[in-house]
């Protein structure tokens, strides 16, 4: 490793080594744009403190800034940054018991299904990935096969410059779920049909009754909606 690479790695680690900035990044992992004030409230810090931390994250390349009128919005710089966070979460040890009933309920919802930037994660995301692999649409390394590309085309997918598929290590399941353009399209397809819906204001999603039937027809996947 060159000295420059070592310096860059140390700078990245320093960005992540702060609880407030870590909370901001985890809030933004669903890919949405938040205002500085919204993030300050979520992390329970003063607006001026939030602004300082966000400037560091933008300068460090983890976030991008968007302005609309008087409002300053920030969001993750892209799917690579979301995957970095998910990979880091996957390397953490098992979490202890949630301190409250509300926190425990929220944790279970995230584990059942959630968004990871623009694709599906949690048990739902891993189950869909497994079903696609079992049907020969993906390889064991999460690459899209010719049959998978044809199947995606039937769902209205059109290739872009973005990488087609990536294996994203799921931090709750400790297994792979599908990311990349293919993963994003599968998520969008399920959303458009009302097969998955958001739970509350966070990243958690749930499978609807119509989604349970739809996934059974689409992939032969049997999952019970909560």
Domain membership flag for residue 183 = yes
pLDDT value of position 109:
82
pLDDT value of position 98:
53
95 and 154 share one domain:
yes
Domain membership flag for residue 226 = no
Instruction: Identify the domain boundary among 77, 99, 131.
Output: 77
86 Cα distance to chain centroid: 7
Residue numbers of the domain that contains 122: 83-219
Domain membership flag for residue 111 = yes
29 and 64 share one domain:
yes
Domain membership flag for residue 225 = no
165 and 63 share one domain:
no
- Is the entire prediction scored with pTM above 0.85? no
Instruction: Identify the domain boundary among 30, 45, 77.
Output: 77
User: Which of 152-156, 182-186, 199-203, 209-213 bottoms out in mean pLDDT, i.e. has the lowest?
Assistant: 199-203
72 and 115 share one domain:
no
Q: Are strands 34-35 and 119-121 parallel, antiparallel or unpaired?
A: unpaired
How does pLDDT run across 87-146, given as a tens digit for each residue?
888 777 655 555 554 555 667 888 899 998 899 999 999 999 999 999 999 999 999 999
69 and 105 share one domain:
no
Give the count of beta carbons closer than 10 Å to the beta carbon of residue 16. Answer: 15
pLDDT value of position 101:
44
Instruction: Identify the domain boundary among 77, 101, 131.
Output: 77
How does pLDDT run across 133-165, given as a tens digit for each residue?
999 999 999 999 999 999 999 999 998 889 999
Q: Average pLDDT in the 40-44 region?
A: 89
Confidence of residue 201 (pLDDT cuts 50, 70, 90): low
- Please state the domain count of the chain: 2
Contact 58, 64 (CB under 8 A): yes
73 and 103 share one domain:
no
How does pLDDT run across 43-71, given as a tens digit for each residue?
899 999 999 999 999 999 999 998 877 77
87 and 187 share one domain:
yes
Q: Which two tokens stand for residue 143?
A: 């690459």
109: left (phi over 0), alpha (psi -120 to 50) or beta: alpha
């Amino acid at each position: 490793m060159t000295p420059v690479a070592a310096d860059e790695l140390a700078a990245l680690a320093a960005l992540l080594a702060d609880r407030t900035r870590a909370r901001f990044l985890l809030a933004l992992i669903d890919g949405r744009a938040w205002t500085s004030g919204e993030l300050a409230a979520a992390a329970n810090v003063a607006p001026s403190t939030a602004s300082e931390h966000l400037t560091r994250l933008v300068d460090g390349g983890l976030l991008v800034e968007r302005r609309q009128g008087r409002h300053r919005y920030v969001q993750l710089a892209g799917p690579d940054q979301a995957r970095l966070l998910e990979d880091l979460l996957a390397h953490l040890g098992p979490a202890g018991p949630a301190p409250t009933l509300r926190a425990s309920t929220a944790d279970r919802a995230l584990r059942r299904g959630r968004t990871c930037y623009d694709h599906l994660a949690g048990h739902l995301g891993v189950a869909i990935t497994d079903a696609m692999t079992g049907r020969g649409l993906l390889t064991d390394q999460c690459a899209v096969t010719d049959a998978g590309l044809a199947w995606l085309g039937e769902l209205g997918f059109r290739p872009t410059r973005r990488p087609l598929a990536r294996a994203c290590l799921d931090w709750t399941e400790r297994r792979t779920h599908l990311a990349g353009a293919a993963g994003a399209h599968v998520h969008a397809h399920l959303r458009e049909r009302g097969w998955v819906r958001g739970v509350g204001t966070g990243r958690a999603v749930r499978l609807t009754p119509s989604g349970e039937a739809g996934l059974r027809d689409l992939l032969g996947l049997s999952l019970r909606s909560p």
